Every structure is written in C-alpha cells, then in structure tokens.
Amino acid sequence: MEGLVDNGVEVAEEIQILANEPFMIATMYSTYSINGFNFHTYSSDEGRPVQSSGVALVAQTSCFENGNNMNPIVRNKTYYGRIKEIIELNYRNKGSIVLFKCDWVDNRIQDRWVKTDQFGITTVNFNHLFNTGERLLDEPFILSSPATQVYYVQDPIDREWCAVLQSKPRELYDMAARDSENIEHQNEFRSPIPDLHTNVDLNIFLQDVVHVRTDIDGTIVAEKKRK
C-alpha cells in the first residue's frame, strides 16, 4: 500500500486505513444498532419479547451447470443465521469495523435445509449448520453493514423448522410511500408477508369480512343494577 501511494497511485483513505493491522484487542457487544435495526446476540435474545438476533445475507456465488465445467455461473444466494458475537475492530484509532459472528444454516443443497414453498415462504432448519471447521466454505464473520435483520417463527407441527420473516427498520419511516398507500388502499386492509426472495401480499377487503356470527343464536347480557 505504501508503495502505491509513493508512486502517485490514488488510494481511497478508507482502503489505506483498512490496509493497516487493527489493534490486537477487540471490543465485544451484546447489541448493536445500524441502518435502523437493533441487532442482539442470540444469548442476549433469551428472555426478551422481541427477537433481534436473526440475520440474513445475500451473496454472489459461482457454480457450474451439469456437464459444463468451463463456464461458471454467478448467482445470488441467501444465507440465514443467528448472531453469536458482535465484535468491533479498531484500526489504530483511525477507523473501525463491526463484524457479526454467526451460526449459518447449511444451504449448499437446494431445498434441503433451506426451503421456499410455492407461496414464497422460506423455512430453515437450525439443526443443520455449516461445518465451522471448513474455513473457506463457511466464513462465520460478516460485515454488519450489508446484514438484513430477520426473525424466525417456529413451525407448530414440525418444530425443527422455522419460517423466515423479514424485519422492518424501526427508526426509518417513508412518509411518501405511506401517503401513496393511503390513497390507493383507503378501504383495504393489507397484511404483508415479508420475505427476502419475493414480495407476497395477502389482501383482505373489508366488505368481504363478516363481523357477526350467524351460525349460532346470540345471548343478551343485561347489566346488573347496583344496589
């Protein structure tokens, strides 16, 4: 890096800072806020009413088609995990980066431990994680900035599986989008089902919802008179 700078090559200041080794002592956190999300470690989530340790990351991977070992195909692949540790590296007091160390669900075989059904709902199985011993295959650390927060809802029938729902930023609010939504759907109740792969909306029109039961006789309860 010093040789490039000495030869007049323009290098971004951020790259120059990261080219230096960080301090040997790192800082660990149990919670970290970024991009409107409050992330927690999985251990810190225990006992909390809100789940904040789920994380997803979309990354580009290369693979080969069957029978074609010459031209690799680059595809986007989504990884789902839980945050185990939040670590901040200090680069000589000139800059710092925050890393999430995660347990990742094994997604090497399509539709095995990460599945997406015909409705666009993704489910994952945390009993099958990447082998952390294979460093090049499953790097446990990711940068905090591109991470997307998700939460997992356990399947009541098959409790090994969890449905993935995407969280919304808690500190950001799009007023323009909200105004547009009010104009287009003034008489409509919308219940969005968030997902990283596709946007699936379940629309229920108020005029189609029956608010009174007609299959049984009602009972009138009179207020007791006070003595």
SS3 string, the chain, reads CHHHHHCCCCCCHHHHHHHCCCCCCCEEECEEEECCEEEECHHHHCCCCCCCCEEEEEEEEEECCCCCCCCCEEEEEEEEEEEEEEEEEECCCCCEEEEEEEEEECCCCCCCCEEECCCCCEEEECCCECCCCCCCCCCCEEECCCCEEEEEEECCCCCCEEEEEECCCCCCCCHHHHHHHHHHCCCEEEEEECCCCCCEEEEEEHHHCCCCCCCCCCCCCCCCCCC
Q: What is the pLDDT of residue 104?
A: 93
Q: Decide which of 66 and 55 is more confident.
A: 55
Q: Decide which of 200 and 222 is more confident.
A: 222
Between 116-120, 137-141, 144-148, the lowest mean confidence (pLDDT) is in 137-141
pLDDT greater than 70 at residue 93: yes
pLDDT greater than 80 at residue 26: yes
Alpha-carbon distance of 125 to 129, in angstroms, equals: 8
Q: What is the pLDDT of residue 171?
A: 56
pLDDT band at 18; cut points 50, 70, 90: confident
Between 29-33, 96-100, 201-205, the lowest mean confidence (pLDDT) is in 201-205
- Chain-centre distance for alpha carbon 83: 11
Averaged pLDDT, 30-53: 91
Between 33-37, 126-130, 150-154, 205-209, the lowest mean confidence (pLDDT) is in 205-209
Q: Decide which of 82 and 217 is more confident.
A: 82
As beta bridge partners, residue 38 has 33
Q: What is the pLDDT of residue 55?
A: 95
pLDDT band at 194; cut points 50, 70, 90: very low
Alpha-carbon distance of 152 to 107, in angstroms, equals: 16
Q: What is the pLDDT of residue 140?
A: 83
Averaged pLDDT, 86-115: 91
Between 34-38, 60-64, 134-138, 150-154, the lowest mean confidence (pLDDT) is in 134-138
Alpha-carbon distance of 28 to 95, in angstroms, equals: 16
Structure tokens at 154: 């356990």
Alpha-carbon distance of 46 to 49, in angstroms, equals: 9
